[in-house]
Chains A and B, each alone.
Chain A
Amino acid sequence: MSVRPVGDLRRYVAHVSHAVAALFVAAQAAFEDVEGGVESGQWELVAAQAQHMALVCLHVHGLAVSAEPYIWDDTAATDPYAGVPDEEVEAALRLVDEVRLLPGKDPGPWLDRMRAMLAAAEATVQLPDRLPELRSPAGMFSGVRLIRQWLPLVDELGLPPILPGDWTKPL
């Protein structure tokens, strides 16, 4: 049987669609910068993008509970911590803070924990398959195809656009 309760319709649609878009467009790119920055010793880039990735992942968790989609929005008060218990916020920021200790050390274990943070955020949307990688030859179209199937209901419910305006609107 495939029947499963998913709770409030708006909450479920907003969470799945916006979480996937945020992970696909923002978090994956941030993690790629983190990996590349570790390799090249660009530690401020690593810190900036580790923080960005952590905030996107926290927002994905919050979307499942009580946050509204914000990722392409900047009111100056948009809150990536909304709906997330403070101990989870603290754990995420502590992981980012460990960038300070990385120079001269094996970054492997830390990168694994960052990778796990990304996977845990992705797991909240329960996709049947892993999310495609945007920055791979087939990834962009696979990801956009995945997201496009949700557009009609997102529009019908009057939820904010899933994809960033930078992608969908002329300059």
Chain B
Amino acid sequence: MSLAVQDVRRSRLEKHIAPYGLTSEQIRDQVDDVFGEPLLVVATGSVLAGFGRSTSDIDLYVVVPDEVASTPIVSYPSGARVDTALFGAGTLTERHRQMAGPWPPPDPSAIGHTRRRRSLDCLSRFGLGLPLATDAGQWQSWQQAIERDVPGWLSAWHAAEAVRKQAAARVLLPVKPRLAAQKAAEAVIAGLDRRCALAGECYFKSKFIGDKLRRLGDERGLAWARQALFLPVTLAESADYVRWADEVVDTLLADVDTRGWRLRLVPAAGVVWHSFGRETLVSRWSMRTVAVDADSPAATAQSWDYGLAEPWHPDVAGLFAEVMLWLGVAGPDPVGDR
């Protein structure tokens, strides 16, 4: 982090806490040593990113020697809200190591997807924050290395998410137009988030897409965001909205090399297949059930792969629309490329 960037972040922090009569040292002191002596304390979040308000909280991200659950610990020094999140050094090191893997991965899974999202959220907050205490060694260097890698990680994530949501919108449109419109909007926002990351606006939270684009002076992107943020009010408007979003996403991803990318569907969490004579019953959390012919590919396979533009088997599309399948994007298989 350059000194100028550090100054900007420190200035944002001090401006935010000054009305509470607090100093950055007092913020840092919100971190206890009950989980071990902290190795790194970073102030981060929307305030440090420049999008916060007077009522926003300060996030403190802390590296501690031992493993801990990441439930935020909330404190209110002088009325200012501080959310402290602790992360074990071992897990954090492992998650950072995993970020070197390609995204989208050749073998996508819901668990891997969630882990990547959480890792990105966490690591980017460390990287884009202001260190309030460091070990002046390994963890200080680690924080600086993270910041350098964040744009690449985020642009790859958002590109895959845009493709994922665009594919979902296309499949859902004939059966659930409102849901298709929502997924189409998410695809546009993901594409715009990628555009922001590539231009240096790397705050992970999509809710600040307008603020990021405005700060970049990206008028065209801001106009797209404003359209995407308002879902069609009536059902009848959904199809046109999805088609508009589809074109915008194609434009936003025009430079992404999607060769070798595929769509993969696997059973969603809580889904169970039951053989029932000539039918197979597919239920989720035993709360809702759909029936499919027992010899349908949707009943006989464990996962389903399609090219990005390839039509899906109607029963697979049906199970997906019924929220029985999880959709992921698979990147090129490194073995297959040899």
Contact = CB atoms under 8 A, between A and B. Distances in A.
Contact of A89 (B172, B178, B286, B325): B178
Interface residues of A, number: 55
Contact of B71 (A49, A100, A168): A168
A62 to B, nearest CB: 11
A131 B315 CA distance: 42
A45 B207 contact: yes
B179 A79 contact: yes
Contacts of A167: 69-72
Interface stretch (B2-10, B51-59, B253-261, B299-307): B51-59
Given A44-B211, A160-B285, A51 B229 contact: yes
Nearest to B83: A135
Contact of A11 (B95, B226, B287): B287
B325 A75 contact: yes
Contacts of B57: 135
A107 interface: no
Interface residues of B, number: 66
A36 B180 CA distance: 30
B76 to A, nearest CB: 5
A27 to B, nearest CB: 14
B284 A68 contact: yes
Contacts of B68: 170
A73 interface: yes
Contacts of A73: 268-269
A78 interface: yes
A52 to B, nearest CB: 7
A167 B182 CA distance: 26
B165 interface: yes
Interface in B124-182: 164-165, 167-168, 172, 176, 178-179, 182
B234 interface: yes
A51 B207 CA distance: 10
A77 B327 contact: yes
B226 to A, nearest CB: 7
Contacts of B74: 137, 140
Interface string A122-157: 000000000000010100100000000000000000
Contact of A77 (B87, B119, B168, B211): B168
A158 interface: yes
B178 A40 contact: no
Nearest to A45: B207
B172 A77 contact: yes
Contacts of B168: 76-77
Contacts of A76: 164-165, 167-168, 183, 320, 326-327
A75 B208 CA distance: 23
Contacts of A37: 53
A93 B71 contact: no
A42 B222 CA distance: 13
Interface in B90-109: 91-92, 95
Contact of B231 (A36, A42, A51, A82): A51
A50 B113 CA distance: 26
A166 interface: yes
A23 interface: no
B78 interface: no
Contacts of B291: none
B55 A32 contact: yes
Contacts of A113: none
Interface string A71-90: 00111111111100010011
Contact of B287 (A14, A52, A74, A93): A14
Contacts of A82: 323
A36 B55 contact: yes
Interface of B: 51, 53, 55-57, 67-72, 74, 76, 81, 87-88, 91-92, 95, 110, 113-114, 118-119, 122, 164-165, 167-168, 172, 176, 178-179, 182-183, 206-211, 222, 225-226, 229-235, 268-270, 284-288, 320-323, 325-327
8 contacts: A45-B208, A77-B322, A79-B176, A135-B81, A158-B285, A170-B67, A170-B87, A171-B87
Interchain residue pairs A-B with the least CB separation, the first 10: A44-B210, A76-B327, A76-B168, A47-B229, A36-B53, A68-B287, A48-B207, A75-B326, A75-B268, A93-B233
